[in-house]
Amino acid sequence: MSAGVGQPTSHRRHTARWVAAAALVLGASLVAVLATRPSATATEVNTPLVGTRAPAISGTTLAGQAFDLASMRGRWVVVNFFASWCPPCQQEQPDLVAFAYRHRALGDTALVGVVFDDAVSSARGFARSSGATWPAIVDGGGQIALDYGVRGPPETFLVSPSGIVVAHLDGPVTAAQLDYWLRREQSGVT
């Protein structure tokens, strides 16, 4: 009689032990995956701007010079929205510097920065300390970011020599990613 009463309780304990063990294994696997995965990089997003004419970018650079995107027609242009306070922007900056250095030598692609919601002095200090030599435009009212549909930095756009936005990348880019997207668009393969 007592065995009959005790059996379901023991069965329940057994099940609970298995459930606890499964939860433990699942939790440990999750921690392992999160700890070992590479840091997040940019993803290509399909926004309404892709395939349309690149909105105008004109204004004053951090160096105080006048700039107009239209003057870069005929070259591939990488437009990068950044801010000094944004950690992913700090993460991608060395890759942008490497990309800009390599392509300045090749003369096929130009890089343009747009300051996103940042103090001019902070953005200037950030660009200078990271070795960025490309023009960075001050977007005081945020109109350029709005025209490009930017939600938050870093966001990067690839503009074709004919002035069409061909790719929109969300998140910190790597030099390898930029080269890949550039080659893909240059060869016309989508």
Distance CA 134, CA 152 (A): 21
Residue 61 gets which letter from DSSP? B
Closest among 176, 177, 145, 183 to 49, alpha carbons compared: 145
Between 137 and 145, CB nearer to another protein: 145
Q: Token pair 């510097």 is at which residue? A: 97
Of 44, 95, 147, 185, the one binding another protein by CB under 8 A: 147
Q: Which of residues 32-51 bind another protein (CB under 8 A)?
A: 47-49
Q: Looking at the DSSP assignment, which residues form a beta bridge with residue 111?
A: 78
The secondary structure element, H or E, covering residue 126 is helix 120-130
How do strand 136-138 and strand 109-115 relate by DSSP bridges?
parallel
Nearest approach, Cβ of residue 188 and another protein (Å): 25
The smaller minimum CB distance to another protein, of residues 79 and 110, is found at 79
3-class DSSP state of 33: helix
State the minimum distance, in angstroms, from the CB of residue 142 to another protein.
3
Tell me whether residue 50 or residue 98 sits nearer to another protein (CB atom): 50
**Binds another protein by CB under 8 A, chosen from 75, 149, 179, 186:** 149
Nearest by Cα to 45 from 116, 150, 136, 147: 150
143 near another protein, rule: CB under 8 A: yes
116 binds another protein (CB under 8 A): yes
Site for another protein in 117-136 (CB under 8 A): 117
Q: How far apart are CA 128 and CA 130, in angstroms?
A: 6
> Which value, in Å, is the radius of gyration of the alpha carbons in the chain?
25
- Of 152 and 161, which CB lies nearer to another protein in the complex structure? 152
Binding mask 59-98 for another protein (x = CB under 8 A): ----------------------------------------
For residue 166, give the 3-state DSSP assignment: strand
Stretch that binds another protein, among 19-27, 36-44, 99-107, 149-157 (CB under 8 A): 149-157
Q: Which residues bind another protein (CB under 8 A)?
A: 47-49, 116-117, 141-143, 145-152
